[in-house]
């Protein structure tokens, strides 16, 4: 499987002292050192951490930003964060368009801890992976707590077998890189 771009999803309000921020930075740094391009929403938090990590690793970044038509002030934080060093920017005008572009650009996804935005991005990527099973894009879920979430889904939702074969749970930045390389070798 040819993998050149890795999309990061995660908490926009994450601070430098937060675990998911540090893990996103280190994961992106290691991925960039291996030649992978880092894709994210171009905003703050985990998005900024991923770009800064990629730059620390000598890599390239792509940001998919959201500039709504002004009717929804709450989405303004998903626009361009000037502290996020992206090389190329794709501007979108709706949340759905932005999410779909992030999914389109990535060859694999790293899902860090986050809020409802991250949940929706995860859900859409997971659903598409199931629909395209066999030619799907893999999800790398960062953090052992994902086991509890997936287990709760399995106990309470009607999952098919394919849903359980398209993601991988990892606990460290080095595992992210190892998993991306293993997926690439498929």
Strand pairing partners for 138? Answer: 108
Confidence of residue 54 (pLDDT cuts 50, 70, 90): very high
Asked if 85 and 51 touch (Cβ cutoff 8 Å), the reply is yes
Element spanning 65, H or E: strand 61-66
Question: What is the per-residue pLDDT for 74?
Answer: 42
Question: What is the per-residue pLDDT for 73?
Answer: 47
- The dihedrals phi and psi of 170, each to the nearest 5 degrees, come to -130, 160
Asked if 54 and 60 touch (Cβ cutoff 8 Å), the reply is yes
State the average pLDDT for the chain. Answer: 92
Strands 61-66 and 37-40 come out as parallel
Q: And the tokens for 89?
A: 């920017």
Q: How many CA atoms lie within 13 A of 78 on its CB side?
A: 29
Q: Which CATH number belongs to the domain containing residue 81 in this structure?
A: 3.40.50.450
Whether pTM exceeds 0.85: yes
Nearest-angstrom CA–CA distance, 33 and 161: 35
Strand pairing partners for 39? Answer: 7, 62
Where is average pLDDT lowest: 33-47, 135-149, 156-170? 156-170
Where is average pLDDT lowest: 2-6, 81-85, 126-130, 134-138? 81-85
- Residue 115 CA, chain-centre distance (Å), reads 13
Greater confidence, 134 or 143? 143
Greater confidence, 47 or 67? 47
Overall domain count for the chain: 1
- Report percent pLDDT > 90 for the chain: 80
Question: What is the per-residue pLDDT for 94?
Answer: 87
**Residue 75 lies in domain:** 5-184
| Edge-to-edge order in the sheet of strand 138-142 | 88-92, 61-66, 37-40, 5-9, 108-111, 138-142, 167-170
Nearest-angstrom CA–CA distance, 160 and 181: 26
- For residue 64, pLDDT beyond 80: yes
- For residue 76, pLDDT beyond 80: no
Mean pLDDT computed over 14-43: 97
Greater confidence, 67 or 100? 100
- For residue 86, pLDDT beyond 90: yes
Q: And the tokens for 157?
A: 């939702």
The string of DSSP letters for 100-136 reads HHHHHH-SEEEE-S--HHHHHHHHHHHHHHHHTTTSP
Nearest-angstrom CA–CA distance, 21 and 17: 7
- For residue 40, pLDDT beyond 60: yes
């Amino acid at each position: 499987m040819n993998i050149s771009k890795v999309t990061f999803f995660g908490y926009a309000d994450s601070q430098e002292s937060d675990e998911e921020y540090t893990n996103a930075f280190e994961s992106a740094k290691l991925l960039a050192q291996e030649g992978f391009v880092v894709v994210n929403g171009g905003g703050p938090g985990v998005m900024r951490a991923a770009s800064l990590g990629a730059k620390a690793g000598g890599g390239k970044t792509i940001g998919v930003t959201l500039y709504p038509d002004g009717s929804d002030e709450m989405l303004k934080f998903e626009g361009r964060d000037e502290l996020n060093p992206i090389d190329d920017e794709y501007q979108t005008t709706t949340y759905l368009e932005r999410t779909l572009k992030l999914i389109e650009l990535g060859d694999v996804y790293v899902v860090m801890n986050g809020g409802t935005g991250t949940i929706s991005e995860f859900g859409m990527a997971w659903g598409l992976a199931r629909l395209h099973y066999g030619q799907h894009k893999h999800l790398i879920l960062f953090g052992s707590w994902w086991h509890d979430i997936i287990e709760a889904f399995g106990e309470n939702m009607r999952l098919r077998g394919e849903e359980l074969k398209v993601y991988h749970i990892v606990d460290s930045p080095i595992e992210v890189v190892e998993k991306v390389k293993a997926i690439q070798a498929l």
